[in-house]
Amino acid sequence: MTWLFPLYLLGAAAIIGPILMHLRRRPPQDRVEFSSLMFLDAQTPMPVSKRKLDHWLLLLLRCLALLLLALMFARPLLRVENEAPLFQQSATIILLDSSASMRRGDLWKQAVDIASERLQKVAVTDRLAVATLDRQTQLLWSFDQDRGAASTRVATLKPQLSALKPSWESTDLGQALVDAAGWFGSAQGLSGLQKRILLVSDLQEGAKLEALRSLVWPENIQVEVMRVEVPNADNFTLSLAASSPEESAGKDKAPKQTEAVTRVRISNARESKISDFNLDSTPVTSGYIAPGSSRVVTVPALTQAEGSTLTVTGDAWDFDNRVYIAPAQPKTVKIVFIGDEKTRDEAASPLFYLSRALQPTASLRPELSVIAATATALPPDTQLVFVSGARLNAPLAQSVRALVEKDGLVVSVIAEPTTPQDLEALTGIGAKDWNLSASREEGSESYSMLADVQTAHPLLRPFADERLRDFTKLRFWHHRKVTLPKESPLEVLARFDNGDPAILGKGRLILLTSGWHPADSQLALSTKFVPLLYGWLEAAGFRNEQAASLLVGDVLPLDGATTIMTPDGQTLTPKPGTIPRAEMPGIYRVGKELRAVNLPPEEGRITPMDVAKLRELGVRVEDGGLKGAISTLAEEKERLAITEQEGRQRAWIWLLGALLVILGWETWLAGRIRQSVPQQAFTPA
């Protein structure tokens, strides 16, 4: 006879309770209703001595019930030695966390030790797979490999594990568990085996678990969590913060970016005991962050040509204390204005406003050149063309049209001198289809306003924001009335309030029926002009915003470059068809461009996660505890075997049945005794 939980047998000692109760000396508790106590004196109640056990049958039943209860909880079983295999073979996947947070202290060494130890304890008859997990799961040893070479697995895997280093990537624990569960399903010959996943990880709270939400965790896969820990949880995390909207609005107004700033976010871990940080900006920034909170710090923009690094100090762990910032690398945009160069400084001319609106920014450097309408061709590499009413000669018109077809952007104003023939040369729409007439608003105070603006159109994207859609202060004094044929390829992007088209578009050709200079309208003087111009630049492929910082694991955009220089000085030449990814934080040089790659900020959230979170997501977890509390596999298998045998025999059910019967007898007997006692007390002899 063996017991599954022998400690419960101690509960049998509870029978002392009823024995003492049956032996207890207590005063009589009977009560008698009597007509009057006027002839009776009170007496001191004398304890009723019980030298012998009263109601011994009742006592026996009660003791028996307690004994059966203790036996039932102890779960007895008969060991059958010659039974078929005492325990099943198992299939185990060892998942080793190799994310950046494992770079702290000796976490990685602990994790590799646990994995190696477990590796040696897995029997040759058992099946094993080993994988590392960070942003993605990397299989080191698959079940298929194991099937063919189980005997050599230790010799093969040990050097591999020793050679492994933690990566700089984030932790996608959810995806790793989903992948591992999938391997059990896809590998051959695993049916009937016990399936276990051994997760060796620091289980930081920054680990992603979202992938588990899409999976119903299989009932037969058990996850054992071996958490590795370091005692110190003091950690600051430095990451880039998004620039604020106010700052963006400011950029549009003053595109020179003379007061450029960099915003970084410093976070303090939840269980951290420190709160004072130092940031090595110029000048040095110091401050206070409460544990579990974060703070955005604005420092003067870093402008080093080779890329800059900001470092926060004051915590215990260094791996997430830096952000890398690539220098601003504005793109050159070659813009041609067809008109008179002399008018550049005349306040009434369209060129005056255009040249002042197109100022260099952190990401764009517009180069505005002016050619006469009589020129025969556009300068080479022209990317944008503005025409304000000038009549182009035929070769130039051809050249401009070719630019439109070649992904350039052309903005042309249909002014008084423009004829349908000019428009035909520019758009390819037959001259007879154009119906142009002048429209000057009646009276000096009359004007038109924009209405029906297609803000969803890519060319008018800046006005997609509802707060920027107020066109009531933008007045047009004069415009050409254009009547379009019914099936025109031209699209009306905006109309005046009288229904006449205001902005027409055809691919990358934009036609304005009124100029932006003050003689025609208030457009150039309004707040809409610069956003409109930059919207057009964006539509032409020149975004006026700083390239977002890349994170480790992101794809490095090649943009035609052929070589990549990594932060540690290696030069890579990616093969065609492959997608190069950033593997470490730092400044990458991709071709001529510098790219800053930073650590994923969630990797800095090192506070240990509660294993219950995994359980909430349905994962069947048994917490293996810390490294020191590892139970040996053999013991565990023995325990499993006993559990399984007990589950088959189910002796406890019989004990439960007997217990219920005895409790029934006890209740009946106690009821009878109870009934008889008051009768004796109430009835005079």
- Chain contacts with another protein (rule: CB under 8 A): 27-46, 48, 680-681, 683-685
- Pairing between β-strand 221-227 and β-strand 194-201 as defined by DSSP bridges: parallel
Q: CA dihedral in degrees (512, 514, 516, 518; nearest 10)? A: 180
Nearest-angstrom CA–CA distance, 126 and 92: 8
Q: CA dihedral in degrees (337, 530, 504, 519; nearest 10)? A: -70
CB closer to another protein, 48 vs 124: 48
Enumerate the β-bridge partners of residue 312. Answer: 279
Q: What string of H, E and C letters represents the secondary structure of 512-551?
A: ECCCCCCCCECCCCCCCHHHHHHHHHHHCCCCCCCCCCEE
Nearest-angstrom CA–CA distance, 171 and 201: 10
- The least distance separating another protein from the CB of residue 38, rounded to whole angstroms, comes to 6
Whether 396 contacts 376, CB under 8 Å: yes
- The least distance separating another protein from the CB of residue 57, rounded to whole angstroms, comes to 22
Calculate Rg over the CA atoms of the chain: 42
- The least distance separating another protein from the CB of residue 673, rounded to whole angstroms, comes to 15
- The least distance separating another protein from the CB of residue 73, rounded to whole angstroms, comes to 41
Nearest-angstrom CA–CA distance, 414 and 435: 12
Nearest-angstrom CA–CA distance, 392 and 380: 17
- The least distance separating another protein from the CB of residue 675, rounded to whole angstroms, comes to 16
CB closer to another protein, 34 vs 56: 34
- The least distance separating another protein from the CB of residue 35, rounded to whole angstroms, comes to 4
CB closer to another protein, 34 vs 288: 34
Give Cβ neighbours of residue 596 (< 8 Å, ≥ 6 apart): 307, 323, 324, 325, 326, 549, 550, 586, 587, 588
CB closer to another protein, 29 vs 151: 29
- The least distance separating another protein from the CB of residue 670, rounded to whole angstroms, comes to 20
CB closer to another protein, 36 vs 151: 36
Dihedral pair phi/psi, residue 132, rounded to 5°: -105, 155
- The least distance separating another protein from the CB of residue 668, rounded to whole angstroms, comes to 25
Q: Is 129 exposed, middle or buried (0-12, 13-18, 19+ CB in 10 A)?
A: buried
- The least distance separating another protein from the CB of residue 19, rounded to whole angstroms, comes to 25
Helix 56-74 / helix 651-682 crossing angle, nearest 10 deg: 160
Helix or strand (DSSP H, E) at 301: none
381: left (phi over 0), alpha (psi -120 to 50) or beta: left
CB closer to another protein, 29 vs 675: 29
Nearest-angstrom CA–CA distance, 232 and 315: 10
Upstream peptide bond of 283 is cis (omega within 30 degrees of 0): yes
CB closer to another protein, 576 vs 684: 684
Q: Cα 604 from chain centroid?
A: 13
CB closer to another protein, 45 vs 182: 45
- Pairing between β-strand 564-565 and β-strand 621-625 as defined by DSSP bridges: unpaired
- The least distance separating another protein from the CB of residue 25, rounded to whole angstroms, comes to 14
- The least distance separating another protein from the CB of residue 27, rounded to whole angstroms, comes to 8
CB closer to another protein, 571 vs 683: 683
Nearest-angstrom CA–CA distance, 208 and 170: 8
- The least distance separating another protein from the CB of residue 1, rounded to whole angstroms, comes to 48
Give Cβ neighbours of residue 514 (< 8 Å, ≥ 6 apart): 413, 476, 478, 479, 480, 502, 520, 521, 523
Nearest-angstrom CA–CA distance, 620 and 194: 13
CB closer to another protein, 20 vs 46: 46
SS3 assignment, position 298: strand
Nearest-angstrom CA–CA distance, 506 and 504: 7
CB atoms within 10 A of CB 271: 15
- Pairing between β-strand 308-313 and β-strand 276-279 as defined by DSSP bridges: antiparallel
CB closer to another protein, 37 vs 155: 37
CB closer to another protein, 38 vs 163: 38
CB closer to another protein, 258 vs 683: 683
Tokens of 55: 């109601």
Nearest-angstrom CA–CA distance, 194 and 189: 12
CB closer to another protein, 30 vs 276: 30
Sign of CA dihedral 170, 171, 174, 176: positive
Sign of CA dihedral 678, 679, 681, 682: positive
CB closer to another protein, 29 vs 578: 29
Whether 567 contacts 585, CB under 8 Å: yes
CB closer to another protein, 33 vs 345: 33
- The least distance separating another protein from the CB of residue 681, rounded to whole angstroms, comes to 5
- The least distance separating another protein from the CB of residue 42, rounded to whole angstroms, comes to 4
- The least distance separating another protein from the CB of residue 51, rounded to whole angstroms, comes to 17
Nearest-angstrom CA–CA distance, 349 and 519: 9
- The least distance separating another protein from the CB of residue 666, rounded to whole angstroms, comes to 25
